[in-house]
Structures are given as C-alpha cells and as structure tokens.
Amino acid sequence: MRGQRSGRIVNVSSVLGFLPAPYMALYSASKHAIEGLAETLDHEVRQFGIRVSLVEPSFTNTNLDLNAPQAMSKISAYSKELDIVSQAIQRNVQKAPPPQGVADTIVRAALGAWKMRHTPKGEASMLAKLRRFMPAGPVGKGVRKSFGLA
C-alpha cells in the first residue's frame, strides 16, 4: 500500500467499542482497543495515501454467543444479573439481521468514499447516533433496560 501510495485498512469493531454493555467487559475492552488502534493508525498512514476505517456492527445473527468463552469460575454475587443479560444477548442474536449487512458495510468501507466509522443500517446506526447526541445518563439507562437490568 505504501508503494502504490493508496489503500484502505478496514477494522471490524462493534458498537461495544463505543457503547459498553454489562457483563461484556473483555469483549468491549478489545473493541475499544481496535477503535484506538484504527484512529491512531489512520494518522500514521495517511501520509502514504492509506486510510483506515472501522465497521461497528451491533447484534448479528451468528454463532458468536454460542462460541463465546466462558469463565472457569463465576462469582455467585453476579449470577442473577449475568443470567438475565445472557438470556437477553441470546434473544437479541436470534432476532438480529444476518451477517450479509455487515459484509456489505465492510465492502462499502473498503471501496467507498473514506470515512472513519461505518455502521450497518438499523440498530447499529441508531446506537451510534444515540451515543453521539444524547447525554451519557439516559444512554446508560437505556442500555441497562435493553439487557433486562434495573
């Protein structure tokens, strides 16, 4: 890419990279890291005509929830809420759109006009707008409610 003085690097993050959810700390932290990496790398490589973009999907109907690592030992004080959140995640994944929307967004991020953040149509786009334009308190309350927490 440096040699041809052009290119696009597309990193797949998640809405959890900018809007953390309960009981998803490790996943959210990894997505925050991808966001920071992409933004920093974009500053470094644009001198060579290369740009970096992020794709930030929300729930997608895949087997991610089934393949997610589980803790070896759980702290019982959290088990009630963790069960509620786990069930909410499964429901959201089952009713989520198929991966094709994310794939289409990746293609647009790679081949379209450059912009840093790309969210698939639907929930991901709505969450990005909420995070950007609403105060943190109501957004956090909405996140907790959507995961079944008081």
Catalytic residues: 27
7-12 and 117-118 beta bridge pairing: unpaired
Tell me the C-alpha distance between 144 and 122, whole Å.
20
Q: Kindly give the interhelix angle for 136-146 and 123-133, rounded to the nearest 10 degrees.
A: 150
CA 76, chain centre distance (Å)? 28
What tokens appear for 104 in the block? Answer: 């289409």
* Contact in structure between 11 and 38 (CB atoms under 8 Å): yes
Tell me the C-alpha distance between 81 and 59, whole Å.
20
